[in-house]
Amino acid sequence: MDISGEEVTHGTDRGPRRALDREPLGYLTAALRGVGQVDLQPRLLTGAFILAGLWAAGWRVGLFATLGTLLSTAAAYAFGVDRDSIAQGLQGFSGCLTGIALVGSLGHHPATYVLTVVGCVLCTVLTAALGTLLAPYGLSALTAPFCVVSGVIVLGAPSFARIWHGDPAPVADPTGGDPAITFTDLWHAFFGNVSQVFLVDSWYVGLIMLAGLACAGARVVLAAALGSVAGIVAAWALGAPTAQIASGIYGYNAVLVGIALGAVLLPATPWNAGYALFGAALSTGLTAAITSFFKPFDGHTFTWPFILTTWALLAAVPRLPRLRAAGATG
């Protein structure tokens, strides 16, 4: 079916907890699942752990993540989006990331609240638009609505006197530095990769989130952990600067690719596991290329390396019989 196509390609959670789906509780559980769907996980407990991690990262991050998820989920109600898709949290996750990105890039000002409202409504519209455009290929939008909306706002903001309040904290530049690495760098990187998915650089936030992923099942947390390791190994092998590896800049896309290809979108076979690790390493290399591409116009890398890697590798599956696709893409 066309409209609910996205659910098949994200994880779904259809337990006997339908009581939670009655309003207004249904709205709140949909939003909580939305926080977890950033990592492609609809489990409520996963969403709760991740939300706790975001508030632990600071009240601004927690507040705007919460607001963003609530706003884009509410917009989906208003536009009459398929209820099943809302209930699984698929209308909230781009808003979650957009809220975090906007408060991080524009600062905590009244204008940022207004832009978060507009941006989150737009996330819901773009989720629908990309759903239409990608449906013929059996692909889902992933976090692309977030990347487009936040990218456009952050790119346009400096032109506007009322929303721009001077330069934000400089974006980490993954294109130079010292490649020597210590054990502290390594375990900071391992957890930082998980928290950087949410634009947060903090090993303990990553640890809390990893605990949330563990609630979603052994395969999910294993895929996330191996993705993180693959990202670190690839970045080290390529000779990336240690500071960027340690802060998770080079590995958060690998974590997402690991979860998406290793635990959600493809069935569990040895070939597919290797393919997921290959993708995780690829996304690490792609991070440098995309950052260099965005540099002349001050664009933001966000989760583009994850999105492009996952789209390319999934689109290839139907023509690579060794890799068995899940129902949605097969």
Binding site for a copy of itself (CB under 8 A): 2-3, 78-82, 121-122, 125-126, 128-133, 136-137, 151-153, 155-164, 174-176, 179, 237-241, 278, 282, 285-289, 291-293, 295-299, 311-323
237/191 Cα distance (integer angstroms): 19
Residue 203 contacts residue 187 (beta carbons within 8 Å): yes
What's the closest the beta carbon of residue 77 comes to a copy of itself, in angstroms? 10
- Nearest approach in angstroms of CB 133 to a copy of itself is 6
Shorter beta-carbon distance to a copy of itself: residue 63 or 128: 128
Name the minimum Å distance from CB 104 to a copy of itself.
18
Closer of 100 and 122 to a copy of itself (Cβ): 122
Q: Which is nearer to a copy of itself, 66 or 98 (CB)?
A: 98
- By beta-carbon proximity to a copy of itself, the closer residue of 59 and 137 is 137
Q: Nearest approach, Cβ of 281 to a copy of itself (angstroms)? A: 8
Q: Is 77 exposed, middle or buried (0-12, 13-18, 19+ CB in 10 A)?
A: middle
Residue number with CB closer to a copy of itself (240 or 255): 240
**Cβ-count burial 182-210 (b if 16+ within 10 Å, e if not):** eeebeebbbbbbbbbbbbbbbbebbbbbb
- Nearest distance from residue 208's CB to a copy of itself, in Å? 30
| Least distance between a copy of itself and beta carbon 59 (Å) | 27
Is residue 8 within a helix (H) or strand (E), and if so which, with residue range?
helix 5-9
Give me the least distance between CB of 87 and a copy of itself, in Å please. 16
- Sequence-separated (6 or more) residues with CB below 8 Å from residue 243: 172, 177, 178
- Specify the residue, 36 or 119, whose C-beta has the smaller distance to a copy of itself: 119
Q: What is the DSSP letter of 199?
A: T
CA-CA distances (angstroms) from residue 72 to 50, 75, 86, 255, 265? 18, 5, 10, 24, 24
| Distant-in-sequence contacts of 107-113, Cβ < 8 A, 24+ apart | 107/165, 107/168, 108/60, 109/163, 109/165, 111/162, 111/163, 112/64, 112/163, 113/67
Residue 25 in tokens = 């509780």
Q: Which is nearer to a copy of itself, 315 or 328 (CB)?
A: 315
Tell me whether residue 28 or residue 312 sits nearer to a copy of itself (CB atom). Answer: 312
Minimum Å gap between C-beta 288 and a copy of itself is 4
CA dihedral (232, 238, 244, 248) in degrees, to 10, reads -20
Q: Closer to a copy of itself at the Cβ: 54 or 157?
A: 157
What whole-number distance in Å separates Cα of residue 282 and Cα of residue 230? 9
CA distances from 154 to 54, 102, 151 (A): 21, 8, 5
Q: Which of 32, 39, 2 is nearest to 17 (CA)?
A: 32
Residues 183 and 249 sit within 8 Å (Cβ to Cβ)? no
Minimum CB separation from a copy of itself for residue 170, in Å?
17
